[in-house]
């Protein structure tokens, strides 16, 4: 009885949150046109995406940096892409953080590394986004916006950073998120290790790879880069990295290549 009561209480609270953050029809339609990989064939999944987007907007705190004027359209674009990976996993996967900081462009940060002689080397790095344990998630609006323009390039900074959030949620940044009971850690590791080894060998040999070569930086980056590809161009992902596509389809509980019509090439 308590469970049923709790369930109905949660449902009422969610409905109230969605009512607080309704997404106007025209804004939602423009978002789907701008980012076509958000479009769902199944009406129930399309509706769930919109509801989760409202809930995300209700639960997270957006802030703008470096003089950016944050608009509703920007927040909806970010929220809709952020919830796509957890469409079937649930928004609770993102409970570990609340803040999202949006910058107008790439962010230059100072990094330092210590070499084998104990010397500290400082360098500058340009970031399109960053996810940290406990948050906040940082995003460059220029990169968020460009993600929808060219779907031939499976590049998506929002999905990339939220894949890191999923990876970080269970402790280490190691390319392995919290897994469901039907995917043993050993199976995840074996598939990811195999695909990663093949991919890094090709990158090191100087081959032109379909996946962003940045994925060769480590298994955490490989998971994030492959997740972008899985959602943005699942058809190529399925033919280029079949075993990984199948593993991701089981993990994310989505089959985007089967759920979405493949766009015609111009
Ligand atoms: Zn990354």
Instruction: Summarize pLDDT for 122-150 with one digit per residue, the tens.
Output: 999 899 999 988 889 999 999 999 886 65
Give me ligand 1 centre to Cα 59, in Å. 24
pLDDT 10s digits, 217-255: 999 999 999 999 999 999 999 999 999 999 999 999 999
Give me ligand 1 centre to Cα 260, in Å. 26
Distance CA 218, CA 200 (A): 9
The pTM score is 0.91
pLDDT 10s digits, 254-263: 999 998 878 7
Give me ligand 1 centre to Cα 135, in Å. 14
Give me ligand 1 centre to Cα 216, in Å. 11
Instruction: Please state the φ and ψ torsions of residue 211, each to the nearest 5 degrees.
Output: -75, 145
Give the pLDDT confidence score for residue 148 in this predicted structure. Answer: 65
Give me ligand 1 centre to Cα 93, in Å. 18
Give me ligand 1 centre to Cα 215, in Å. 8
Give me ligand 1 centre to Cα 130, in Å. 7
Give me ligand 1 centre to Cα 211, in Å. 13
Give me ligand 1 centre to Cα 229, in Å. 13
Give me ligand 1 centre to Cα 9, in Å. 37
Give me ligand 1 centre to Cα 162, in Å. 9
Residues surrounding ion ligand 1 at CB below 5 Å: 221, 224
Establish how many alpha carbons lie within 13 A of residue 64's alpha carbon, considering only the half-sphere containing its beta carbon: 13
Give the pLDDT confidence score for residue 209 in this predicted structure. Answer: 93
Give the pLDDT confidence score for residue 38 in this predicted structure. Answer: 94
pLDDT 10s digits, 41-88: 899 999 999 999 999 999 999 999 999 999 999 999 999 999 999 999
Give me ligand 1 centre to Cα 161, in Å. 6
Give me ligand 1 centre to Cα 166, in Å. 12
Give the pLDDT confidence score for residue 179 in this predicted structure. Answer: 97
Output the CA torsion 137→142→144→146 (10° steps): -160
In this prediction, residues 110-114 reach a mean pLDDT of 89
Give me ligand 1 centre to Cα 19, in Å. 34
The per-residue b/e assignment along 158-177, b for 16 or more CB within 10 angstroms, e otherwise, is bbbbbbbbbbbbeeebebbb
Give the pLDDT confidence score for residue 143 in this predicted structure. Answer: 93
> What is the residue extent of each domain of the chain?
12-259
Rounded to the nearest 5 degrees, what angle is found at the Cα of 215, between the Cα atoms of 218 and 116?
35
> What is 12-259's CATH topology?
Collagenase (Catalytic Domain) (3.40.390)
Give me ligand 1 centre to Cα 258, in Å. 27
Give me ligand 1 centre to Cα 55, in Å. 25
Q: Which residues contact 178 (CB under 8 A, 6 or more apart)?
A: 93, 166, 169, 170
Give me ligand 1 centre to Cα 131, in Å. 8
């Amino acid at each position: 009885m308590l469970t049923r009561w709790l369930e109905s209480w949660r449902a009422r609270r969610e409905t109230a949150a969605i009512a607080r953050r309704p997404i106007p029809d025209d804004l939602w339609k423009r978002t789907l046109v701008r980012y076509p990989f958000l479009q769902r064939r199944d009406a129930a999944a399309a509706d769930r995406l919109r509801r989760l987007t409202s809930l995300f907007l209700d639960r997270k705190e957006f802030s703008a940096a470096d003089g950016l004027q944050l608009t509703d359209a920007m927040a909806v674009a970010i929220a809709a892409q952020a919830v796509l990976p957890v469409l079937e996993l649930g928004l609770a996967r993102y409970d570990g953080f609340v803040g999202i900081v949006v910058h107008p462009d790439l962010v230059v940060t100072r990094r330092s590394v210590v070499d084998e002689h104990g010397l500290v080397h400082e360098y500058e790095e340009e970031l399109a986004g960053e996810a940290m344990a406990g948050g906040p998630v940082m995003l460059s609006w220029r990169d968020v916006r460009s993600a929808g323009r060219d779907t031939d390039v499976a590049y998506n900074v929002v999905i990339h950073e939220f894949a890191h959030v999923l990876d970080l949620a269970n402790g280490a940044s190691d390319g392995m998120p919290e897994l469901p009971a039907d995917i043993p850690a050993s199976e995840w590791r074996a598939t990811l290790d195999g695909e990663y080894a093949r991919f890094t060998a090709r990158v090191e040999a100087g081959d032109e790879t379909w996946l962003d070569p940045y994925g060769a930086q480590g298994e955490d980056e490989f998971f994030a880069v492959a997740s972008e590809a899985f959602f943005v161009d699942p058809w190529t992902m399925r033919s280029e990295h079949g075993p990984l596509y199948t593993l991701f389809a089981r993990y994310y509980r989505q089959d985007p290549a089967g759920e979405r019509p493949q766009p015609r090439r111009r």
